[in-house]
Structure 1
Amino acid sequence: MMGRFGFVAVLLATLAPAPNAHAQSPGAPTGVWLTQAGDARVKIAKCGAALCGTVVWLRDPIDRATGKPAIDDKNPDPARAQRPVIGLQIFNDMRPSAPGKWSGHIYNADDGKTYESSLSATGPGTLKVEGCVGALCGGEAWTRAGK
């Protein structure tokens, strides 16, 4: 299932939350967002003081190898490796770390690992999702999906 989570591949890791987290901004990026590659839509919602993100749509929802719905088959936990990707919560602890910015962890279904990450509202219809692996950093812009 190459590409089913290509958008998360860039999000690999290490923007730690600030020690003094700010109150939840009323401009929290809730709603449905289309990944930069256009291969998934993630619904972001408030979960208490944090933000949660759940995959609600995949461009390719059927695994070509099996002919069945895409599953979280890279997860090292055998019980979780059978979960459908659609409905998978990829983050649930993004907390305010600066005005318009949330920091926490994001799950990458392409490799079954969880990484530190951040979300930054860059406009009413764009969201920057970023992270680093070692010295290699990257990010991408998600756009608000139509209703």
Structure 2
Amino acid sequence: MKISKIATGLGIFCLAGAAMAASKPDPSGIWMRGDGNAKVRIAPCGADICATNLWIKDISGGENVGDRLVMTVKPKSADTLSGKAFDPKRNLTYSIQMKVEKASLVTRGCIVGGLVCKNVNWSRAD
């Protein structure tokens, strides 16, 4: 009797955990930046998420293929991740927010304690 109650409790716990994991926003995939200048792959890299440049149209702004942003983010809501992003090339850390939808992504990066921010729109390319 006790074993069946424990098993039932574990089953409910596992189902709840699976439902929570399924509702976590997942930005994984290949994305084209709204200005048409960059294509990136967002994928897990260790415990973090990395955005790696796959293609850059105009490198005059200092962006190159292979550059990456390492993001440590957690769910803020059903469609939004929030946390920090580190740019190893520039040695800068940003606060970042990512609103993830099926075919679009909006990133908001801020520096200087949130005084300087920029939104970037992305469309799914994969």
Q: Same fold (TM over 0.5)?
A: yes
Contact persistence 1:27–1:100 (CA under 8 A): yes
CA–CA separation in structure 1 for the residues paired with 2:98 and 2:67: 18
Q: Offset of 1:50 from its aligned partner?
A: 3.9
RMSD (Å), alpha carbons: 3.1
Q: 1:36 aligns with which of 22, 34, 43?
A: 34
Q: 2:105 aligns with which of 114, 118, 127?
A: 127
Bigger Rg, which one: 2
Tell me, yes or no, if structure 1 residue 144 matches structure 2 residue 100: no
Q: 1:105 aligns with which of 84, 108, 111?
A: 84
- 1:76 is aligned to none
CA–CA separation in structure 1 for the residues paired with 2:70 and 2:27: 14
Deviations 1:67-98 (A, max 9, x none): xxx67xxxxxxxxxxxxx31122123233232
List gaps (5 residues or longer) in structure 2: 1-19
CA–CA separation in structure 1 for the residues paired with 2:26 and 2:120: 18
For 2:72, the aligned partner's letter is D
Tell me, yes or no, if structure 1 residue 94 matches structure 2 residue 92: no
Calculate the TM-score normalised by the size of structure 1: 0.55
Distance 1:27 1:95, change over 3 A: closer
Contact persistence 2:54–2:65 (CA under 8 A): yes
- 1:117 is aligned to 96
Contact persistence 1:51–1:93 (CA under 8 A): yes
List gaps (5 residues or longer) in structure 1: 1-21, 64-69, 72-84
The structure, 1 or 2, with the larger RCO (C-alpha pairs under 8 Å, 6+ apart) is 1
1:6-17 matches, cutoff 5 A = none
Q: Offset of 1:112 from its aligned partner?
A: 5.0
* Structure (1/2) with the larger strand percentage: 2
Count of equivalent residues:
105
